[in-house]
Amino acid sequence: MKKMILLLAAAVCLLAGLTAEPVRAAGLIVLDSLFDDWNGQAYVTDPQGDGGPRGADFTRFYFAVNPGVSTLFFMLERPPSNQKITIWQQFDMNNNGIFNEPSDRRVKVTYDPEKKNSQVDETIYTGNNQFIATYANNADWGESKNEGGKRVEWGVPMALLGMTPGQTINIGLTTNPGEGGGSGDSLDTPVQWSPANALGPALLGVLLLAAVLWMARQRSRATQKG
């Protein structure tokens, strides 16, 4: 019993570590073309000036989840530009280093900053380019030309990716000017990510408690057999 209590205490500490930091560091992501909610979220950087002309060069790629929401959120930041770009995300869903299998996913996001708003379209395909769904059409998820045309955000439902919360995936990213023609920019290294916070604190606690009880039961069986 004493060992079980210690295990439960450890589980509570682990749960606190998993859930407290995101709450302190950042708020909930809302797709509204306002970007203060990305402060404190995880991101990777990309060197400025390596992405060619016409707005395809990007400098930061953000990724986040909201607790209890089964959607992955992303944001791209580039130097100020009034140019339209196409963003391709490659999702290695089974984390095997291959991105073009039928179980993998490709997400196409076009971002066109207009004078006072923006137009963002999003389409999802399999890793071998079979159409799955159009998720967004003419959504205002980016900065306008008047705002600098620097940032755009979007979401991808886990259901359309065929994934479960906590699953480890690899994400590649490339950009191209305009409708996708010409050279652009890309991440030097894919992002490996396991968005466990999408489970939410309550479900994480249930899973941790179940794991503790299972370990305690296995230990009790081993003691009885001995």
Cβ atoms of 144 and 116 closer than 8 Å:
yes
How many domains are contained in the chain? 1
Whether residue 14 is contained in a domain is answered as: no
Q: Model confidence over 36-62: pLDDT tens digits?
A: 999 999 999 999 988 877 899 999 999
Q: Which of 15-19, 36-40, 60-64, 193-197 has the lowest mean pLDDT?
A: 15-19
For residue 96, the model assigns a pLDDT of: 96
Above 80 in pLDDT, residue 120?
A: yes
Residue 64 lies in a domain: yes
Position 125 in a domain: yes
Q: Which residues have C-beta within 8 Å of that of residue 87, sequence separation ≥ 6?
A: 76, 108, 109, 110, 111, 152, 173, 174, 175
Q: What number is the average pLDDT over the span 98-118?
A: 98
User: Taking each helix axis from N to C terminus, what angle separates 2-25 and 201-225, rounded to the nearest 10 degrees?
Assistant: 160
Among residues 90, 58, 64, 89, the alpha carbon closest in space to that of 76 is found at 58
Quote the DSSP letter at residue 190: P
pLDDT of residue 169: 97
- Sign, CA dihedral 47-51-56-61, equals negative
In a domain, 207, yes or no: no
The CATH number covering residue 90 comes to 2.60.40
Average pLDDT of span 129-156:
98
Domain-located, residue 10: no
Average pLDDT of every residue of the chain: 83
Lowest mean pLDDT among 10-14, 59-63, 141-145, 170-174: 10-14
What is residue 50's predicted lDDT score, i.e. its pLDDT? 86
- Residue 113 domain flag: yes
Mean of the pLDDT values across residues 199-221? 46
Domain that holds residue 80: 29-199
- Rounded Cα–Cα distance for residues 12 and 18 (Å): 10
In the block, tokens 């295990």 appear at 7
| pLDDT value for 53 | 72
CB 63 within 8 A of CB 73: yes
In a domain, 103, yes or no: yes
